């Protein structure tokens, strides 16, 4: 069976996912899309055979749509996800699941009322080969208990609309999810340090930032977020355990010797760096939809936990204080472990 997918939001990542479903992975096709910018939607499906509909309601309700991908702007995510749950259709929602913890609660309540999990959140790093290798090492117990993690998240530059709170909510949210998943620990507190600002930024932006997390077991995570680093896209992660360390491997790239120097190209953005992880994420998700199984990636609880940590980090950015993360008890639907 070919899984027939409807896509809500056909901007940068929406168009990437349409291309991915159409040309990179097997077992699925895009049959309907929508975007508040109809021309953009038409451009994204050119040559695919998918139709452009005028609203997300039409996409989600369409008889030939088996599952939904949400790739619109963050503030629009919650209503689309709730509509998909109401229709009983699996939904893969790009991060963030929602822009408030209240909306994340509404989504978890809707899933509970449905009686099984339908939501996967697009935390694609859980499918990156390097992070998966790190997880295997950590799960083996060879390093003992994790004590510290040092993370780096650098973007070449960001548009003027990107503001200081987005360093947590839009960018470090990936490390927040990844560290919860790698260590099996929830985040207890957040603090934000603001080093000297780069001159190569839009005036309003606090960049770089160092986000410090304390996990529930007392281990610590530091995340350098620097979204105007100029040279490209770089992701780093090292975890220090009682008996050893594990570091995210560099993505293999050819070493070029020329004109008296040797070097490798640096990825320029998240598409360059994580394309294989997105492919793996979609391949698995499509397979779960085809089998009628619950999604295997990050779920609504993970989306909620990330939102709660981001709230604390944003409060910490403004106050300069160490801010506790307020977390509700984990609903039974989401099990005990990460
Ligand atoms: P974008 O601005 O390029 O595209 C968003 C699109 O959504 C636009 O075309 C806009 O017209 C459309 N849209 C907004 N509200 C809508 C609505 N109610 N219904 C239908 N369409 C609507 O943004 P983007 O970079 O593609 O990001 C989209 C989402 O994907 C964001 O939530 C972002 O955080 C996430 N994202 C994730 C990653 C990742 O690494 N996983 C990378 C980039 C973006
Ligand atoms: C973007 O939305 C992403 O999710 C990228 O992975 C991240 O690197 C970037 O900072 C975000 O703006």
pLDDT tens for each residue of 8-56? 999 999 999 999 999 999 999 999 999 999 999 999 999 999 999 999 9
In terms of Cα–Cα distance, which of 314, 158, 295 is closest to 228?
158
pLDDT at residue number 271: 97
Residue 73 alpha carbon to ligand 1 centre in Å: 4
Identify which of 113, 84, 83, 173 has the alpha carbon closest to the alpha carbon of residue 331. 113
Q: Is the CB of 155 under 6 A from ligand 2?
A: yes
Domain ranges of the chain: 3-124+275-298, 126-270+304-334
pLDDT given at position 93: 99
Phi-psi category of residue 218: left, alpha or beta, with phi > 0 → left and psi -120 to 50 → alpha:
left
Kindly state the percentage of the chain with pLDDT values over 70: 99
- In short, whether 174's Cβ falls inside 6 Å of ligand 2 is yes
Whose alpha carbon is nearest atom 1 of ligand 1?
11
Q: Which residues line ligand 1 (CB under 6 A)?
A: 8-14, 34-37, 40, 56, 71-74, 76, 94-95, 122, 124, 170, 270
Q: Which atom of ligand 1 is nearest to the CA of 122?
A: 41
Q: Which of 171, 201, 224 to mutate to test the pocket of ligand 2 (most atoms within 8 A of CB)?
A: 171
- Rounded to the nearest angstrom, the gap between the alpha carbon of residue 139 and the centroid of all alpha carbons in its chain is 22
Q: Are residues 22 and 30 in contact, defined by beta-carbon separation less than 8 angstroms?
A: yes
Say if residue 257's pLDDT is above 60.
yes
Residue 171 CB–ligand 2 contact under 6 Å: yes
What would the mean pLDDT of 226-249 be, rounded to a whole number?
A: 98
**pLDDT band with cut points at 50, 70 and 90 for residue 194:** very high
CATH H-level superfamily of 3-124+275-298: NAD(P)-binding Rossmann-like Domain (3.40.50.720)
Q: What's the pLDDT tens digit per position in 132-160?
A: 999 999 999 999 999 999 999 999 999 99
At 320, is the secondary structure helix, strand, or coil?
Answer: coil
Q: What residues contact 179, with CB distance under 8 A and at least 6 apart?
A: 149, 151, 185, 187, 213, 215, 221
> Which range, of 16-20, 200-204, 249-253, 334-338, averages the lowest pLDDT?
334-338
Q: Which atom of ligand 1 sits closest to the CA of residue 13?
A: 26
* Mean predicted confidence (pLDDT) in 52-63: 98
Give distance in angstroms: CA of 61 to centre of ligand 1: 21
pLDDT(336) > 70: yes
Confidence of residue 261 (pLDDT cuts 50, 70, 90): very high
Structure tokens at 304: 């909620």
- The secondary structure of residue 116, as a DSSP letter, is S
Backbone angles phi, psi at 94, to 5 degrees: -55, 155
The predicted pLDDT at position 337 comes to 56
> Residue with the nearest Cα to atom 34 of ligand 1?
95
Nearest-ligand number for the alpha carbon of 277: 1
Examine the pLDDT at 338 and tell me if it is beyond 60.
no
Contacts of 276 (CB under 8 A, 6+ apart): 128, 129
Note the pTM of the prediction, 2 decimals. Answer: 0.98
Tell which one of 152, 169, 270, 277 to mutate to probe ligand 2, the residue whose CB is within 8 A of the most ligand atoms: 270
Residue where the block lists tokens 């117990």: 141
Q: Atom 3 in ligand 2: which residue has the minimum CA distance?
A: 171
Note the CATH number of domain 126-270+304-334: 3.30.360.10
Å from CA of 128 to ligand 1 middle: 21
Strand pairing category for 220-226 and 146-154: parallel
Residue 328, pLDDT above cutoff 90 = yes
Q: How far is the CA of 10 from the centre of ligand 1 (A)?
A: 7
What is the position in ligand 2's atom list of the atom closest to the CA of 13? 2
């Amino acid at each position: 069976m070919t899984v027939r997918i409807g896509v809500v939001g056909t901007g940068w990542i929406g168009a990437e996912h349409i291309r991915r479903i159409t040309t990179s992975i097997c077992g699925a096709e895009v049959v309907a899309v929508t975007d508040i910018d109809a021309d953009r939607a038409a451009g994204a499906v050119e040559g695919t055979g998918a139709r452009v509909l005028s609203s997300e309601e039409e996409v989600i309700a369409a008889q030939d749509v088996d599952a939904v991908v949400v790739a619109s702007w963050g503030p629009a995510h919650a209503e689309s996800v709730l509509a998909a749950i109401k229709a009983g259709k699996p939904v893969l929602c790009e991060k963030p699941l929602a822009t408030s913890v209240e909306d994340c609660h509404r989504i978890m309540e809707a899933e509970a009322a449905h009686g099984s999990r339908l939501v996967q959140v697009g935390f694609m790093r859980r499918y990156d080969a390097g992070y998966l290798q790190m997880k295997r090492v950590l799960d083996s117990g060879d390093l003992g208990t994790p004590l510290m993690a040092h993370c780096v998240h650098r973007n070449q530059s960001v548009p003027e609309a990107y503001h200081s709170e987005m360093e947590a909510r839009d960018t470090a949210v990936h490390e927040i999810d990844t560290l919860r998943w790698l260590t099996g620990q929830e985040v207890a507190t957040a603090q934000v340090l603001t080093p000297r600002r780069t001159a190569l930024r839009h005036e309003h932006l606090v960049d770089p930032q160092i986000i410090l997390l304390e996990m529930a077991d007392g281990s610590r995570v530091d995340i350098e977020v620097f979204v105007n680093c100029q040279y490209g896209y770089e992701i780093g992660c090292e975890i220090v355990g009682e008996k050893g360390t594990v570091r995210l491997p560099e993505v293999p790239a050819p070493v070029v010797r020329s004109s008296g120097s040797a070097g490798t190209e640096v990825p320029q953005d998240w598409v360059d760096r994580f394309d294989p992880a997105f492919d793996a994420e979609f391949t698995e998700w499509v397979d779960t939809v085809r089998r009628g199984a619950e999604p295997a990636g990050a779920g609504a609880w993970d989306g909620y936990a990330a939102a709660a940590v981001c709230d604390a980090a944003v409060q910490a950015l403004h106050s300069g204080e160490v801010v506790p993360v307020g977390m509700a008890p984990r609903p039974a639907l989401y099990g005990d472990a990460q």
